[in-house]
Amino acid sequence: MDNVILSDLVGQQRINTRRLAGEPLPPLGDPELADHAIATRRTLVSDLFIGRVLNVR
């Protein structure tokens, strides 16, 4: 499964391609990864993890 997530600077998901537009979204599951992306100003590609939106790998 491919998924794209965009979040704001405090780690709140704003867009998640696994959800319809307007559905409530949880905060990011790994704030340390988000902090790294913000600090380096680079796109982040993470390892596989259990997501909060669908609770699947």
Q: What is the dihedral of CA 23, 31, 4, 47, to 10 degrees?
A: -140
- Residue 7, beta-bridge partner list: 13
Q: Could you give the CA distance from residue 54 to residue 8 in angstroms, rounded to a whole number?
A: 20
Residue 12: per-residue pLDDT = 92
pTM above 0.95, yes or no: no
**40 or 1, greater pLDDT:** 40
Residue 34: per-residue pLDDT = 83
pLDDT tens for 2-57 read 778 888 988 899 999 988 999 999 988 888 888 888 899 988 777 766 666 655 44
Residue 40 to residues 3, 19, 24, 45, 51: CA-CA distances in angstroms? Answer: 22, 27, 28, 13, 23
Domain ranges for the chain: 1-57
Residue 57: per-residue pLDDT = 43
